[in-house]
Structure 1
């Protein structure tokens, strides 16, 4: 609980645009001092650099390239675990309709994998990610949405108490008791895959990464532009992920300082893996 609260407080202060604004405003207030002028100058320089140059975009390209898109599927999997964050929880509650966000590919790929692996366990893990208790959760809202669209959700195992990636892993592990040697696909957005894989694997749950959803086209960019809000938004996502990885290592939620390799994709007896082509 303490880690969750502290992480929320830390991120509220060090969100890139908030932090830069604090530097500029604080420096302006103390501008009569030399150090105040330097602080304000640093804030302005960061605003120009991060606002007009694709810094956040390039960080996301790096993060999304960590695990390539899966073009060949394992012939058999025991289960598929999908991490939450694809449902806009507050808007779903406010309007009484399931609202998907920019991470909706986690859900669409879940539907594809349900059809591709009719005997596999399908697990969706997602609470509300907030301090306060709620009568609903992302898992509940997704179930409502899928039923509204006519899907049979009886196969889906929901975990609706988790608030972050570590709790996704830990609470799902307590519910499912995965065994050594089982083959599990882990579905989450590409930029979030490194932290997710390292959290699962270092805590004894071997998974195969299945990136679902990209926020870039995969190309690095150097030319400045005037898409300030987009640049800052991408920087916010990339920075949060970088800080999250460091925090998980420092807090022991990722139990290794070394790069963790996930399970390789296994083939069937004839030496061939299933293909995604022809979807």
Structure 2
């Protein structure tokens, strides 16, 4: 139920959808004052969000919550990699694995696997869309890893999850982590706070390992003409904000669990 409601809410309130509703609805009801107000609000929001780097600045804030670790622990028991890097429907339709801008989740996992040859690796990703497919992110990731000669013998694939909370639940059930074990959580930087919050709030202490950035980390305040880029970044940032709010309100995240990275007790591992 949570999955269905979250998807429906996003369909209705994604920034571009919301702005389009305001403009279209206002135009249809332009005879009335409320219609003209709605259309004016929609056009104003489109201009503001399209020409100003609001989305970039929201993403910078999200990505900077957990800085890239400079000193990794000398020993790691496991690495959890969250899905989101595979364009599943396109991969199935084209018969070739198609990756997106979140591919660093997988490439960084490959680097970590080399750094920690004894660590167990969990890839968690099913199909996060309404439309069913004959495959899963886990299956497609296995294909691409094997195609580049990566040793998948210590990979554990979880291919049923549809969202971040299910990533946590199904992965924990698969590997049953012990309290004294050290696990790295590998996901995109903008998504890290919500992911870490879910894992830690539900009893799995993980060390955040941000993999992949959509900004250069600098706030911008000068308008520009990259309307599509600005709106794209806004969509991602707002979706993450809504996800964080929903998971907090439903008790899946306790905010006091997501303030700091876990301390690393020893020196760098040489990464």
Q: Same fold (TM over 0.5)?
A: yes
Cα offset, 1:131, TM superposition: 2.7
Q: Choose which of 262, 268, 271 in structure 2 pairs with 1:273.
A: 268
For the aligned residue pairs, the C-alpha RMSD in angstroms reads 1.1
Residue of structure 1 in register with 2:82 after alignment:
83
Instruction: State the distance in 2 between where 1:259 and 1:117 align.
Output: 26
Kept after mapping to 1: 8 A contact 2:201/2:257:
no
Instruction: State the distance in 1 between where 2:207 and 2:62 align.
Output: 17
Structure 1 gap ranges (5+): none
Cα offset, 1:139, TM superposition: 0.3
Residue of structure 1 in register with 2:66 after alignment:
67
Cα offset, 1:133, TM superposition: 4.2
Q: Deviations over 1:221-272 (max 9, x none)?
A: 0110111000000000000000000000111221x243523421231xxxx2
Match runs of 1:9-28 below 5 Å? 9-28=8-27
Cα offset, 1:273, TM superposition: 2.2
Kept after mapping to 2: 8 A contact 1:143/1:153:
yes
Q: Deviations over 1:43-89 (max 9, x none)?
A: 11100100000000000000000000112211111100000011111
Q: Choose which of 253, 258, 275 in structure 1 pairs with 2:256.
A: 258
In the alignment, does 2:157 pair up with 1:158?
Answer: yes
Compare 59-68 and 93-102 and name the one that shifted more.
Answer: 93-102
Residue of structure 2 in register with 1:46 after alignment:
45
Cα offset, 1:145, TM superposition: 1.1
Find the residue that maps to 2:247 and give its secondary structure.
helix
Residue of structure 2 in register with 1:211 after alignment:
210
Residue of structure 2 in register with 1:199 after alignment:
198
Residue of structure 1 in register with 2:31 after alignment:
32
Kept after mapping to 2: 8 A contact 1:201/1:262:
no
Compare 195-204 and 144-153 and name the one that shifted more.
Answer: 144-153
Find the residue that maps to 1:72 and give its secondary structure.
coil
Instruction: State the distance in 1 between where 2:59 and 2:182 align.
Output: 28
Structure 2 gap ranges (5+): none
Instruction: State the distance in 2 between where 1:27 and 1:258 align.
Output: 42
Equivalent residues, number: 270
Cα offset, 1:132, TM superposition: 4.4
Residue of structure 2 in register with 1:220 after alignment:
219
Find the residue that maps to 1:109 and give its secondary structure.
helix
Kept after mapping to 1: 8 A contact 2:182/2:207:
yes
Instruction: State the distance in 2 between where 1:266 and 1:165 align.
Output: 28
Instruction: State the distance in 2 between where 1:98 and 1:150 align.
Output: 15
Cα offset, 1:130, TM superposition: 2.1
Kept after mapping to 2: 8 A contact 1:79/1:185:
yes
Question: How has the CA–CA distance of structure 1 residues 257 and 214 changed in structure 2, closer, same or farther, with 3 Å as cutoff?
Answer: closer
Kept after mapping to 2: 8 A contact 1:206/1:262:
no
Residue of structure 2 in register with 1:167 after alignment:
166
Kept after mapping to 2: 8 A contact 1:87/1:99:
yes
Residue of structure 2 in register with 1:244 after alignment:
243
Instruction: State the distance in 1 between where 2:106 and 2:112 align.
Output: 10
